[in-house]
């Protein structure tokens, strides 16, 4: 990744008049995310991507040593909107509308992983609402499908992979017509009814790292874990808010899902969306 990772998104030469206060706060949060990524996550110049794409980084909260289990991701490229379109959270785009294609916004799979054969992808990594809802208990699906119709869901894109240790990851990006519609999405959080998951609580390791660093870079991000005892496998969850897009990240592994790969995946996906 180039020096773009250490700066806030470029603004147009002739900014629009300042929007109302709530929208100003959205734009400010976006700038803070990028600034805090530099200060907290150790991004330090050209060629280092986001600083946590490679296993040898040691200065990321909750990611302590090169042997802590993080994955090796390809160098990430910041998504480019179509010509003339503003970047998310620029002064003329305070609602954070993403004009880049959802495929560009999806985090690439880490090196050494295999594509998730069970994920039903269509053209350009699109998935149907029914495919996404397969992650949830059957009793929750009809209500969620109805809510999507009401709340202006435009499309869903996904990427999934399995690493050699058996950890299975799925990332879903849900694009709505506007940030106000996206704010109504309640399908990621403590009350979500995932298949086979009996209880969900906060991820304690993530919470301690966030409190220690007091980092705005993780504002709007929830990291959760299936409570103990669980069945044959454990699920970990990342929920990300970014303007008109909501991201749902799911990782599960037999015997227990490690925390570090989810933290790394959440951080990188969040940065791609901002």
Q: Counting beta carbons within 10 angstroms of the beta carbon of residue 124, is it exposed (0 to 12), middle (13 to 18) or buried (19 or more)?
A: exposed
DSSP-assigned beta bridge partners for residue 194: 136
Please report the beta strands in the chain, taking only residues with DSSP state E, as ranges in sequence order.
114-115, 153-162, 168-176, 200-202, 221-226, 233-242, 245-254
Q: What is the pLDDT of residue 212?
A: 52
CA 69 → CA 142, 165, 268, distances in Å? 38, 10, 15
Angle at 252 between CA 59 and CA 179, to 5 degrees: 75
**Residue 113 and residue 170: Cα distance in Å, rounded?**
12
Angle at 175 between CA 199 and CA 201, to 5 degrees: 15
Q: Which two tokens stand for residue 253?
A: 């592994």
Q: What is the pLDDT of residue 170?
A: 98
- What b/e sequence results for 53-87 when a residue is b if at least 16 CB atoms lie within 10 Å of its CB, and e otherwise? bbbebeebbbbeeeebbbbebeebebbebeeeebb
Q: Give every residue of the chain whose pLDDT is below 70, as ranges.
A: 1-67, 209-219
Number of H helices, E strands in the chain: 7, 7
What is the widest separation between alpha-carbon atoms in the chain? 57
CA 174 → CA 80, 148, 261, distances in Å? 18, 10, 22
- What b/e sequence results for 145-170 when a residue is b if at least 16 CB atoms lie within 10 Å of its CB, and e otherwise? eeebeebebeebbbbbbbbeeebbbb
């Amino acid at each position: 990744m180039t020096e773009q990772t250490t700066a806030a998104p470029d603004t147009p030469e002739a900014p629009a008049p300042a929007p109302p206060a709530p929208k100003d706060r959205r734009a400010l949060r976006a700038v803070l995310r990028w600034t805090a990524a530099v200060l907290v996550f150790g991004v330090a110049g050209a060629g280092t991507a986001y600083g946590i794409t490679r296993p040898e980084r040691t200065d990321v909260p909750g990611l302590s040593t090169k042997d802590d289990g993080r994955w090796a991701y390809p160098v990430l490229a910041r998504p480019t909107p179509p010509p003339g379109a503003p970047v998310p959270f620029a002064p003329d785009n305070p609602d954070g509308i993403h004009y880049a294609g959802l495929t560009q916004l999806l985090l690439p799979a880490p090196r050494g992983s295999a594509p998730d054969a069970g994920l039903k992808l269509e053209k350009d990594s699109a998935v149907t609402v029914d495919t996404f809802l397969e992650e949830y208990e059957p009793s929750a699906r009809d209500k969620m499908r109805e809510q999507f119709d009401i709340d202006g869901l435009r499309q869903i894109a996904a990427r999934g992979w399995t690493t050699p240790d058996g950890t299975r990851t799925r990332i879903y990006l849900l694009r709505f017509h506007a940030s106000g519609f996206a704010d109504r999405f309640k399908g990621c959080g403590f009350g979500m009814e995932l298949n086979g998951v009996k209880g969900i609580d906060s991820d304690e390791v993530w919470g301690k790292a966030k409190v220690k660093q007091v980092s705005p870079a993780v504002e709007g991000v929830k990291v959760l874990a299936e409570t103990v005892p669980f069945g044959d496998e454990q699920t970990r969850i990342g929920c990300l808010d970014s303007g008109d897009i909501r991201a749902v990240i799911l990782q599960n592994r037999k015997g227990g899902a490690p925390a570090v790969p989810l933290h790394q995946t959440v951080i990188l996906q969040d940065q791609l969306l901002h």
